């Protein structure tokens, strides 16, 4: 089957500690449980697409070390392809510590991104020749901008999951078919808290479609013709919110790739993100197509003013 999408961005090994409450400075706590997973906005979104039956390829880099070997084993298990050049002997694999509160599902993350060649290697243009859709998180900035320009210049589509402001992000937004971001990104990047107003400002910078997420408040989709809001999926429990935004973006991309209209893409993405929060982690917690399709029936998308 032909690959529908390629991704480039941060990839890390997450070591997760489940705690009753996040410790304060100089305070020690015992963990109720622990786990290890591969993290990063782009690989998590691609993993959801694989769970939903779409093929993908990840073009990020990692070091020639034990953590890099672990990343490769997880991507292979996920069914996500990657080039042999992803493993770099001149770099170090990224690593993150994640604390998840057992009761609320809230998380605290401290990460060390890939370094050396694993972070700064040039884009291999040959790897982008057949890419019809490229998904980014804006990191590393120079590689992300170069890749976006190559794919956009060939008539391909570009999306970015903009979790936080990064250098040269405006250059990606200028060619992006889809910009997904949390509400806090609008506040930090544009000094704007209103999702619809902020969405229109990103459209004025070149984006063709914008989605804004805000946890329990749901999400907004804004394009040049209209705007919509979808509430968060009602849940009987919240176990782990880590990766919910990445899963939302994966669900949104699924809707784009299969050709759905904007309200259905938004509803599907909200359902997928909500279901992920019921379970721990970002792999076993990923929902299947039937589960998301069923859950989205519980959500109603509200059209808003386009102005």
| Average pLDDT along the chain | 94
Question: Band of the pLDDT at 2, cuts 50, 70, 90?
Answer: low
Q: How many domains does the chain have?
A: 1
263-291: average pLDDT: 96
Question: What gap in Å lies between CA 93 and CA 40, rounded to an integer?
Answer: 12
Could you tell me the CA-to-CA distances from 6 to 43, 47, 133, 140, 151 in Å, in that order? 10, 12, 6, 16, 10
What confidence tens digit (pLDDT) does each residue in 25-69 have? 999 989 999 999 999 999 999 999 999 999 999 999 999 999 999
Strand partners for 5: 56
Question: Band of the pLDDT at 254, cuts 50, 70, 90?
Answer: very high
Q: What is the pTM of this model?
A: 0.94
| Range ranked top by mean pLDDT from 23-27, 122-126, 179-183, 234-238 | 179-183
Question: What gap in Å lies between CA 184 and CA 188, rounded to an integer?
Answer: 6
Give the residue among 62, 38, 45 at the shortest CA–CA distance from 140. Answer: 62
What SS3 state is found at 37? strand
Contact 42, 171 (CB under 8 A): no
Question: Band of the pLDDT at 307, cuts 50, 70, 90?
Answer: very low
Q: What's CA 247's distance to the chain center, in Å?
A: 6
Tokens 């040959």 belong to 126
Question: What gap in Å lies between CA 198 and CA 190, rounded to an integer?
Answer: 7
What confidence tens digit (pLDDT) does each residue in 212-230 have? 999 999 999 999 999 999 9
- Regarding beta strands 219-223 and 80-81, do their DSSP bridges make them parallel or antiparallel, or are they unpaired? unpaired
Q: Take residue 239 and report the two structure tokens written for it.
A: 């176990």
Read out DSSP for 72-138?
A: HHHHHHHTEE--GGGEETTEE-EEEEEEEETTT--EEEEEE--EEHHHHPPP-GGGGTT-SEEEE-S
**Cβ within 8 Å of residue 80, ≥6 positions away:** 43, 46, 47, 50, 56, 57, 58
Give the residue among 248, 26, 41 at the shortest CA–CA distance from 162. Answer: 41
What confidence tens digit (pLDDT) does each residue in 109-144 have? 999 988 887 677 678 889 999 999 999 999 999 999
Q: Domain of 295: which CATH number?
A: 3.40.1190.20
Question: Band of the pLDDT at 1, cuts 50, 70, 90?
Answer: very low
Question: What gap in Å lies between CA 149 and CA 176, rounded to an integer?
Answer: 10
Whether the pLDDT of residue 290 is over 80: the answer is yes
Question: What gap in Å lies between CA 171 and CA 136, rounded to an integer?
Answer: 12
Q: Take residue 20 and report the two structure tokens written for it.
A: 């009753």
Tokens 């109720």 belong to 32
Other C-beta atoms within 10 Å of 135: how many?
27
Whether the pLDDT of residue 305 is over 80: the answer is no
Read off φ and ψ for residue 37, nearest 5 degrees.
Answer: -155, 170
Whether the pLDDT of residue 190 is over 50: the answer is yes
Q: Which domain holds residue 106?
A: 5-304
176-181: average pLDDT: 98
pLDDT score at 165: 94
């Amino acid at each position: 089957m032909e690959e529908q999408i390629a991704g480039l961005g941060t990839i890390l090994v997450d070591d997760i500690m489940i705690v009753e409450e996040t410790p304060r400075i100089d305070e020690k706590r015992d963990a109720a449980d622990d786990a290890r997973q591969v993290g990063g906005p782009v690989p998590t979104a691609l993993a959801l697409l694989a769970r939903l039956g779409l093929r993908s390829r990840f073009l990020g880099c990692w070091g020639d070390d034990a953590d890099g070997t672990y990343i490769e084993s997880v991507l292979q298990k996920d069914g996500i392809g990657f080039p042999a050049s992803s493993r770099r002997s001149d770099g170090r694999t990224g690593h993150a510590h994640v604390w998840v509160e057992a009761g609320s599902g809230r998380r605290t993350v401290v990460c060390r991104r890939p370094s050396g060649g694993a972070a700064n290697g040039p884009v291999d243009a040959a790897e982008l020749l057949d890419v019809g859709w490229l998904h980014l998180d804006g990191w590393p900035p120079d590689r992300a901008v170069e890749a976006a320009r190559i794919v956009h210049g060939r008539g391909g589509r570009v999306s970015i999951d903009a979790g936080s402001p990064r250098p040269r992000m405006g250059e990606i937004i200028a060619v992006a078919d889809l910009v997904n971001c949390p509400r806090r990104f609008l506040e930090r990047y544009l000094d704007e808290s209103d999702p619809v107003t902020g969405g229109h400002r990103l459209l004025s910078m070149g984006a063709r479609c914008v989605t804004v997420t805000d946890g329990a408040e749901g999400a907004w989709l804004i394009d040049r013709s209209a705007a919509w809001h979808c509430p968060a999926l009602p849940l009987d429990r919240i176990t782990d919110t880590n990766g919910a935004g990445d899963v939302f973006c994966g669900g949104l991309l699924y809707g784009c790739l299969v050709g759905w209209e904007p309200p259905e893409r938004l509803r599907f993405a909200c359902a997928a993100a909500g279901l992920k929060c019921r379970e721990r982690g970002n792999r076993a917690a990923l929902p299947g197509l039937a589960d998301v399709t069923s859950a989205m029936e519980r959500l109603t998308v509200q059209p808003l003013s386009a102005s």
